[in-house]
Amino acid sequence: MPRPEYRIIASATSLEQFGHLKETLADEADAIAEAFLEAVDHLGDEEEMSPAVVERYGSYGDTFLYNFHRDYAFVFRKETQRDEGKQPRLVIVYVEALLRRR
């Protein structure tokens, strides 16, 4: 079965939060941003989506919390478009918010 295409869309809120993080943590912000980008790269790898790293978030079942850094996590929502055979064709991942864990 071919792997579906993944599209990542960051909300204005999450972009603002990353901008604020960069302003307040200057030195550490680059390492956090690098960890975030690496985590986003793994959103399409089901093996990387272990319950230790990704957990359900909210009440609808389509929103998740990704613990990508010891101090930070991000909230994302997945929307899957399927073909006629009900196979996933396109997965859209909406990065909604950045959360401080401690």
**pTM (global) more than 0.85:** no
What CATH number corresponds to the domain at position 67?
3.30.2310.20
Per-residue confidence (pLDDT) for residue 24, from 0 to 100: 81
Angle at CA 63, nearest 5°, toward 62 and 66?
A: 135
Give 55's Cβ-side CA count (13 Å radius).
7
Interatomic CA distance for residues 5 and 30, integer angstroms = 28
Question: 93 phi and psi, to 5 degrees?
Answer: -110, 120
Give, as one character, the DSSP assignment of residue 101. Answer: -
Residue 46 has a CB neighbour count (10 Å cut-off) of 9
Per-residue confidence (pLDDT) for residue 19, from 0 to 100: 85
Query: What are the residues whose beta carbons fall under 8 Å from the beta carbon of 53, sequence distance 6 or more?
Result: 66, 67, 68
Per-residue confidence (pLDDT) for residue 44, from 0 to 100: 67
Interatomic CA distance for residues 12 and 85, integer angstroms = 35
Domains contained in the chain, number: 1
**Chunked in runs of 10, what are the mean pLDDT values of the chain (102 residues)?**
86 89 80 84 68 81 87 90 93 90 77
Enclosing domain of residue 76 = 5-100
Per-residue confidence (pLDDT) for residue 83, from 0 to 100: 94
